[in-house]
Amino acid sequence: MTAPLDNPRDHLETEELSDPYARFARVWERARAADPAFHDAMCLATATPDGIPSARMVLLKGWDPRGFVFFTNLESRKGRQLEENPHAALCFHWSSLEEQVRVEGRVEPVTSEEADAYFASRPRGSQVGAWASEQSRPLPSRSALEERIAQFDQQFAGAPVPRPPHWSGRRLVPTRIEFWLGMPSRLHHRTIYRRDTGGWQAERQYP
* pLDDT, tens digit (0-9, with 9 covering 90-100), for 37-93: 999 999 999 999 999 999 999 999 999 999 999 999 999 999 999 999 999 999 999
Instruction: Give the contacts of 30 (CB within 8 A, at least 6 positions apart).
Output: 6, 8, 94, 97, 99
pLDDT digits (tens, 9 = 90+) for 10-44: 666 556 678 999 999 999 999 999 999 999 999 99
Question: What is the structure's pLDDT at 4?
Answer: 44
Domains annotated on the chain, with CATH:
8-121+167-205 (2.30.110.10)
Question: What is the structure's pLDDT at 2?
Answer: 40
* Cut 0.85: pTM above it: yes
Instruction: Give the contacts of 155 (CB within 8 A, at least 6 positions apart).
Output: none
Residue numbers annotated as active site: 186
Question: What is the structure's pLDDT at 13?
Answer: 58
3-state secondary structure the chain: CCCCCCCHHHCCCCCCCCCHHHHHHHHHHHHHHHCCCCCCEEEEEEECCCCCEEEEEEECCEEECCEEEEEEECCCHHHHHHHHCCEEEEEEEECCCCEEEEEEEEEEECCHHHHHHHHHHCCHHHHHHHHHCCCCCCCCCHHHHHHHHHHHHHHCCCCCCCCCCCEEEEEEEEEEEEEEECCHHHCCEEEEEEEECCEEEEEEECC
Q: Is the pLDDT of residue 199 over 60?
A: yes
pLDDT digits (tens, 9 = 90+) for 165-182: 999 999 999 999 999 999
